[in-house]
């Protein structure tokens, strides 16, 4: 197993919302990738956007500006 490190985990209500967020983040060159939701988070669709912790402010601001919704956003050791 890879060593666990803190990461920003963002979950979404549906896979369609997760795909919309992925498409958006990739088009804006925001860091991160889609992963299965860690068990610590029960909310969401089974998919999460995992990004460096330091990107939280930038990603949050961009998602809000675009009107994209997420279910939960937490920093976890994953």
Partner 1 sequence: MIYLDNAATTLRKPPQVIDAVVRAMTDMGNAARGAHSGALEAMRTVYNARVKLAKLFGCPRPDHVVFTANATEALNIAISGILRPGDHVITTSCEHNSVLRPLYRMEAERGVELSFVPADAQGRVDYEDFERLMCPNTRAIVCTHASNLTGNILDITRIGEIAHRHGALLIADASQTAGAIPIDMEAMLISVLCFTGHKGLMGPQGVGGLCIRPGVEIAPWKVGGSGIHSYDKQQPAEYPTRLEAGTLNGHGIAGLSAALDFINEVGLDAIEKKEHMLMDRFFQAVSAMEGVTVYGDFTQARRSAIVSLNIRDYDSAAISDELSETYGIATRPGAHCAPRMHQALGTMDQGAVRFSFSWFNTEEDVDAAIQAVQELTVE
SS (H, E, C) 16-57: HHHHHHHHHHHHCCCCCEEEECCCCCCCCCCEEEEECHHHHH
- Between 15 and 54, CB nearer to partner 1: 15
- Between 13 and 58, CB nearer to partner 1: 13
Pairing of strands 6-11, 33-36: unpaired
Measured in whole angstroms, the distance separating CA 67 from the mean position of its chain's CA atoms is: 15
Where do contacts with partner 1 occur on this chain (CB under 8 A)?
13-20, 22-23, 34-36, 42, 44-47
CB of 57 to partner 1, least distance (A): 25
- Between 68 and 73, CB nearer to partner 1: 68
CB of 77 to partner 1, least distance (A): 18
């Amino acid at each position: 197993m890879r060593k666990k490190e803190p990461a920003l985990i963002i979950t979404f209500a549906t896979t369609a919302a997760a795909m919309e967020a992925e498409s958006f983040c990739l088009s804006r060159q925001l860091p991160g990738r889609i992963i299965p939701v860690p068990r610590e988070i029960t909310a969401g669709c089974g998919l999460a956007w995992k990004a460096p912790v330091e990107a939280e402010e930038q990603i949050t601001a961009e998602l809000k500006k675009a009107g994209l919704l997420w279910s939960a956003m937490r920093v976890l050791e994953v």
